[in-house]
Amino acid sequence: MTKQFLVDQIKAKHSYLCVGLDTDIEKLPAHLPKNKEGVIAFNKAIIDATAPFCVSYKLNTAFYESQGLAGWEAMEATLAHIPSTHFTIADAKRGDIGNTSAQYAKTFFEVLPFDAITVAPYMGKDSIDPFLAYTNKFTIVLGLTSNAGSANFEQQKLANGQFLYESVLEQVSSWSSAEQLMFVVGATKAEDLASIRKIIPNHFLLVPGVGAQGGSLEEVTKYGKNNDIGLLVNASRAIIFASQQENFAEEAAHQAKQYADEMKSFLV
């Protein structure tokens, strides 16, 4: 999927919602079996119900990998069910020496044909290059995350006065264009988005932390939006586990619509 296609979908729907399919097998509604079939049935129902209100789906691969082969099969079946109009993200946070990263890229861009993957930049450019070799895919680099531990490294000041995360954004953005690169910026850091936009004005930002983690959608939009909207705001638990009853998909659609309606109000 190209950046322009994604922008067109966002503008057509007036929504920049990304639904996180972080499907914890232990939290499936009681009427569904806690196995591969249950996960697939749950995910398909969530996708069918929420697709009109979102433009993207993000699969946190840990929830699937932890189930072994059955989890990988559930992830594959879930990905295959997502409409081609929706941007798909493997939230895998990979990053290693070049030849290892090349195998990760093959896994999530070829074997499992996601549109994008999240990566960790700690090991530097040669760990990111294999992902960028796929010109029709997106590499989403961790920038400023919403967890408390981001203070340990990301928010440390360098000798030049920059925060480490600012140096990451500046350097990584020079390795490719906004047609291939996106960045993760946590919603609970919304006040930092204005300064981040000065460093990367044209790139899409994947913004987790809205919903169950308490981030403000209004503030994220106010400080993070650019001329192309440039935002994918992710909500996971608040949507997919809105109900533990048999009406879980209907409730997920209701929550997704609420997000989409709020987003539309910020774009008019």
Among candidate residues 11, 44, 93, 225, the one labeled active-site is 93
Task: Write the single-letter amino acid at 144.
Answer: L
Dihedral sign from CA coordinates of 73, 78, 79, 80: positive
Rounded distance, CA 56 to CA 95, Å? 23
Q: Is 222 annotated as catalytic?
A: no
Spatial distance between the Cα atoms of 6 and 16, rounded to a whole number of angstroms: 9
**Alpha carbon 197 to chain centroid distance?**
18
Q: Which of 213, 218, 206, 221 is nearest to 239 (CA)?
A: 213
In the chain, count H helices and then E strands: 11, 8
Q: Is 162 exposed, middle or buried (0-12, 13-18, 19+ CB in 10 A)?
A: middle
Give the residue numbers marked as catalytic: 93
